[in-house]
Amino acid sequence: MIIKVLGSGCMNCKTLESRVIEALRELQMDAAVEKVQDYQQIASYGIMHTPGLVIDEKVAVAGFVPTVEKLKEILIAHRST
Amino acid sequence: MKKVIEKYPLGAVVLLLPFWIILYIGLQPLADAFVSLTNLPPGEHITEALRFFVFEVPKVLMLLTLVVFGVGIVRSYFSPERTRKILGGKSLLAGNVLASLLGVVTPFCSCSAIPLFLGFVESGIPLGVTFSFLIAAPMINEVALVLLFGLFGWKTALLYMSTGLLIAMIAGYVIGRLTLEKYVEPWVYEVKAGHFEMVEEKILFSQRIIAGIDAVKEIVAKVWIYIVIGIAVGAGIHGYVPENFMASIMGKSAWWSVPLAVIIGVPMYSNAAGIIPIVQALLEKGASLGTVLAFMMSVIGLSLPETIILKKVLKIQLILIFVGVVAVGIVVVGYVFNLIY
């Protein structure tokens, strides 16, 4: 599983990244977490609203920072597909 | 408490609202009681400054909580993706009007300005329409409106909102007519955005209420300190600066005060929360409304960090034109209000 955190380094993006790592640890899941800061790449996912979360090239979150609990649900849902 | 709200959001709101109203009505007597407890002589500078502070801080914070909550619910109906869809294929003038209005209700933060800009341009929304949105979104925000309503009254809040909208519409239209596409960085037009379909989940009303509560947590946590500092400075001015002190500098008779206020205001970066309480105190000391409005708009609407962010997608000529057009609009508004009032 490859997880990408999209955002240009604002507060929300950092929060999202640390929550993703936290959620992964609590679920004991293994995944590569990458940061995408390049605007061209961010736009290529079609999101207009940072921060964004992309799991295996699919946009999972755009424009808000979910709670760790919510992130766990998202991660589990993606794992089962 | 949190669990209860999450389980019965509607019920919690219905129960908390009357409590809010009673507390709000009781603020003035409570503040007076608090001031009289301190045994300070009434009418003295320090007493009046303290009274101003202990009344205004809770009042503004309470208003802010209520409005941010309401706006949080309204915004849950809008997303930049949806706004883009609404704006697609609109002609210039209608697009400018619509974009300015949507700028008020669509969730926006300046850190998202670039993805939003790219998204708009990529789906063929004209540059002028995009600018209407980018001008209205930061200038007319809920924090500014609450403070204006709380400290100046509803007329000024309405005035600010309508003139702000007008500037966004006209400035966007002017930029659109100037055909400045050549001053957009060329790579912007090469972006091929993937169009993922956001799964438009059916959102329950209770989830929207939670969105409102989240907005309160986020925004109030961020701005309360600026409000307290702003009101403290305002209280100092209120208590100590003599009446009409500002009249000669920021009054009507000083014709140069409006452009000067804008020139000082543009590079200044402060959020609405910090600047408005100070400005209110200045108004009380003889500054004129037009000058004060112009100052506020240039501080809130045009911010240096946002223009620096936009530099990534716009050439410097376009940024200067953008700042210039908006600044001229603000100066005109300032003069008009100095004439009327």
Flag the least confident range among A7-11, A75-79, B320-324: A7-11
Q: Are B320 and B175 in contact (CB under 8 A)?
A: no
Flag the least confident range among B2-11, B113-122, B255-264: B2-11
> What domains, with CATH codes, occur in chain A?
2-80 (3.40.30.10)
Mean pLDDT across chain B, nearest whole number?
83
pLDDT band at B169 (very low <50, low <70, confident <90, very high): very high
Residues A43, B79: C-beta atoms closer than 8 Å: no
Nearest by CB to B198, from A8, A11, A62: name it.
Answer: A62
Mean pLDDT (whole number) for B200-219: 77
Residues B79, A63: C-beta atoms closer than 8 Å: yes
pLDDT at B269: 66
Mean pLDDT (whole number) for B80-92: 83
pLDDT at B199: 53
From the CA of B116, how many Å to the nearest CA of chain A? Answer: 4
Question: Which residue numbers of B have CB closer than 8 Å to A's CBs?
Answer: 79-81, 84, 107, 109, 111-112, 114-116, 118-120, 122, 187, 191-196, 198, 312-313
Q: Has residue B168 got a pLDDT over 60?
A: yes
pLDDT band at B173 (very low <50, low <70, confident <90, very high): very high
Give B278-282's long-range contacts (Cβ < 8 A, gap of 24+): B278/B230, B278/B233, B278/B234, B278/B237, B280/B151, B280/B152, B280/B234, B281/B233, B281/B234, B281/B235, B281/B236, B281/B237, B281/B238, B281/B241, B282/B237, B282/B246, B282/B250
Residues A48, B196: C-beta atoms closer than 8 Å: no
**Interface ipTM > 0.95:** no
Q: Has residue B322 got a pLDDT over 80?
A: yes
Mean pLDDT (whole number) for B270-291: 80
Q: What are the structure tokens assigned to B63, written together?
A: 């208003």
Q: Is pLDDT larger for residue B188 or for residue B168?
A: B168
Mean pLDDT (whole number) for B71-98: 85
From the CA of A57, how many Å to the nearest CA of chain B? Answer: 10
- Domain locations in chain B as residue ranges: 2-194+205-340
Mean pLDDT (whole number) for B108-125: 81
- According to DSSP, the β-strands at A2-6 and A52-55 are antiparallel
C-alpha distance across the termini of chain A, in Å: 11
| Three-state secondary structure string covering chain B | CHHHHHHCHHHHHHHHHHHHHHHHHCHHHHHHHHHHHCCCCCCCHHHHHHHHHHHHHHHHHHHHHHHHHHHHHHHCCCCHHHHHHHHCCCCHHHHHHHHHHHHHHCCCCHHHHHHHHHHHHHCCCCHHHHHHHHHHHHHCCHHHHHHHHHHHCHHHHHHHHHHHHHHHHHHHHHHHHCCCHHHECHHHHHCCCCCCCCCCCCCCHHHHHHHHHHHHHHHHHHHHHHHHHHHHHHHHHHHHCCCCCCHHHHCCCCCCHHHHHHHHHCCCCCCHHHHHHHHHHHHHCCCCHHHHHHHHHHHHHCCHHHHHHHCCCECHHHHHHHHHHHHHHHHHHHHHHHHHC
| SS3 category, A2 | strand
pLDDT at B194: 61
From the CA of B221, how many Å to the nearest CA of chain A? Answer: 14
Element (H, E) at A20: helix A11-27
Residues A50, B191: C-beta atoms closer than 8 Å: no
Q: Are B177 and B305 in contact (CB under 8 A)?
A: no
Flag the least confident range among B148-152, B191-195, B257-261: B191-195
Residue numbers in B near A43 (CB within 8 A): 115, 118-119, 122, 191, 193
pLDDT at B129: 93
pLDDT, tens digit, 9 for 90 and up, residues B18-50:
888 899 888 888 888 888 888 777 777 888 888
- Residue A60: what are its φ and ψ, rounded to 5°? -105, -35
Q: What are the structure tokens assigned to A9, written together?
A: 């380094």
pLDDT at B217: 84
Which candidate, B268, B276, B168, B176, places its Cα nearest to that of B223? B276
Mean pLDDT (whole number) for B79-99: 86
Q: What percent of chain B has pLDDT over 70?
A: 92
pLDDT, tens digit, 9 for 90 and up, residues B233-267:
888 887 777 777 766 777 767 778 888 888 888 87
